[in-house]
Amino acid sequence: MKRQKTIGLVAHDNRKKDMVEWVEWNWDELLNHNLVCTGTTGRLVAEALEKKAKQCDGENRELSVLCLKSGPLGGDQQLGAMISEGQVDMLIFLWDPMQPQPHDVDVKALLRIAVLYNIPIANNRSTADFMISSKLMKEAYQPKIKDYSEYITRKV
């Protein structure tokens, strides 16, 4: 992980407002990093960052927000592929624990890949706050990746 991180941002429908509030609260730090978002979340994040940057410093600072497909249309899988390729350093996924999702298997797969590749994951705003305020956000960091090859070569 370089000093400038690539942060995956995902929010289920009932949590998009929380994500926008979190982005507005942390906008200045987020502008230092690259953001990768699923569908509507990406559009809302980009709009919030643009608005906040203009209000606070009047400058047009360069935004780096890559919008993938909507989660149910494959965005979660796209993000998972990027994690497995080492292109995403951390994930903030505000999921809705009270609402069943039609693409629950994709959500589970995304979280599994994030754990498999040992990237930091926040599933609520408190954890996201701790992650973004960590001193490691401003440093290069190399996560230790577990070698799972024994699982592949093991005979059943």
**pLDDT tens for each residue of 112-152:** 999 999 999 999 999 999 999 999 999 999 888 888 888 87
The answer to whether the CB of 3 falls within 8 A of the CB of 34 is: no
- Helix residue ranges per DSSP H, 26-124: 27-30, 39-57, 75-84, 104-116
Residue 67 pLDDT: 95
Block means of pLDDT (10 residues each) for the chain, 156 residues, are 92 95 94 94 94 74 87 93 97 90 85 96 97 94 87 70
- Indicate the pTM of the whole model: 0.90
Catalogue all structural domains in the chain, each as residue range(s) with its CATH number.
6-153 (3.40.50.1380)
- What sign has the CA pseudo-torsion 106, 111, 116, 121? positive
Give the pLDDT score at 54. Answer: 80
Whether residue 76 lies in the annotated active site: yes
Task: Considering the candidates 76, 104, 106, 147, report the single residue annotated as catalytic.
Answer: 76
